[in-house]
Amino acid sequence: MFEIYDVAIIPLILGIVALLKGAGFPAKFSPFVAVVLGLAFGVFYMDTSIKQGIIVGLMLGLSATGLYSGTKNVAQIITSKPQAIQSSQDNKGDD
């Protein structure tokens, strides 16, 4: 059965995907790789049936994909915020 400490596999999946991207693997395939790795961990690492392993693996892979995507989007918002503030101040003076 899935235990709460198995959630630690999600950062492991993220790390493996980051290593692959650093080695030249196309970034557009990283969500697919994360889901495949999640399935592999779910089926082969967890001591469950195949059906439960697939469900847990999908959950792990999709969680890793969402964690990466969410973190990336927040980082983009934070880095673009000074530019957005500056452009809104520039537009304010046009009134």
pLDDT tens for residues 35-93?
999 999 988 887 778 998 898 888 888 888 887 777 777 777 888 766 655 565 566 65
Q: What is the pLDDT of residue 22?
A: 92
- Long-range Cβ contact pairs of 40-47 (< 8 A, separation 24 or more): 41/9, 41/12, 41/13, 45/9, 46/2, 46/6
Determine the average pLDDT of the residues in 18-39: 91
Q: What is the pLDDT of residue 36?
A: 93
Q: What is the pLDDT of residue 46?
A: 79
Nearest partner of 36 among 60, 19, 12, 18, judged by Cα: 60
CA angle 61, 66, 37 (to 5 degrees): 20
